Structure 1
Amino acid sequence: MARKPVRAAVGDIWISCQVCRSDLFRERGVLLNSVGLEFMKMAWADETATGLICWRCGFVHLFVNKDIKLYRADK
């Protein structure tokens, strides 16, 4: 994996993986496509989410909440 791991929190609640309970993730922006905008060739206007990919097991968590904060983690 080329990217550095991050830890994440929403407010004072730290995020851990729903599958393996790890707290290290790889961050990625995710486009949430809708059928309507895709049909009109306007997928670029769809909503985006923050994707957190578990560093250990690979489970993908999606957050639309803009209050999510990412913190650099020393692995």
Structure 2
Amino acid sequence: MGLFSEPEPQKVEVKGHLLKCPICGEELFYEREAQLNTAVASFFNFDWTNPSATCLVCANCTHISWFLGECD
């Protein structure tokens, strides 16, 4: 079983290039979305207004690569 119970890690292309982990060279990643919280929005309970990022987690070493918005 991998780091996450669903789905299986996948190869990912970013701007037409196959992504490889900068730490171990792995080509398989788990994809997750994360919200980029700011202190002001959190203070006023407006966290939902913050932008989100795509996080690609290496299936081998668990290094996280962050991309603002969606990878395409």
TM interval, shorter chain, is: 0.7 to 0.9
- Name the % identity: 26
2-structure distance, mates of 1:32, 1:58: 20
**Unmatched 5+ residue regions in structure 1?**
70-75
RCO greater where, 1 or 2, for CA within 8 Å and sep 6 or more?
Answer: 1
1:15 partnered with 2:19: yes
- What is the Cα-based RMSD across aligned positions, in Å? 1.3
Deviations 1:29-68 (A, max 9, x none): 11111111111111111100110000000011111153x2
1-structure distance, mates of 2:21, 2:69: 17
Alpha-carbon offset, residue 11 of structure 1? 2.1
After TM superposition, where is structure 1 displaced by more than 6 Å over at least 4 residues in a row?
Answer: none
Larger fraction in strand:
1
What corresponds to 2:43 in structure 1?
39
User: How many residue pairs get matched?
Assistant: 68
Which TM-score applies when normalising by structure 1?
0.81
